[in-house]
Amino acid sequence: MNLTRLYLDKATLVWNGNAVSGQDALGEFFETLPSSEFQVHTLDCQPVHEQATQGQTTLLVVTAGSVKFDGNKQRYFNQNFLLTAQASPSSDQPVWKIASDCFRFQDWAN
């Protein structure tokens, strides 16, 4: 799956404290990750006030769960991201894109 299509062109991902910005860099980063299986245990979503986003419809999504990367033990994580509604050229309905994404493991690797 091409995950970069879920992100804005200038989106930033912070993965365990390491920032990656832009479609090309995101694509390169995702290619380095081994295959994985994610399980989301909790999910919360709330609107971000339009004064904070210059009138752009935006949602804050907070998740927590576990992930098992190929050949490694299961690890716990939390992930927070901002989704923004973008105008769609082919529909009256907006397209939601990730503007900012922050992923962090919650346990120490052995």
- The domains of the chain are located at 3-105
Q: How many Å separate Cα 92 from the centre of its chain?
A: 25
Per-residue pLDDT, 55: 79
Q: What is the pLDDT of residue 63?
A: 98
The one-character DSSP state at 50 is: T
pTM: 0.87
Asked whether 28 and 22 are in contact (CB, 8 A), the reply is: no
Q: What is the pLDDT of residue 52?
A: 80
d(CA 77, CA 61): 14
Class in CATH terms, 3-105: alpha beta
Average pLDDT per block of 10 residues along the chain, 110 residues long: 90 97 96 95 95 86 96 94 92 93 84
pLDDT at 110: 56
pLDDT in the model for residue 109: 58
pLDDT reported for residue 32: 95
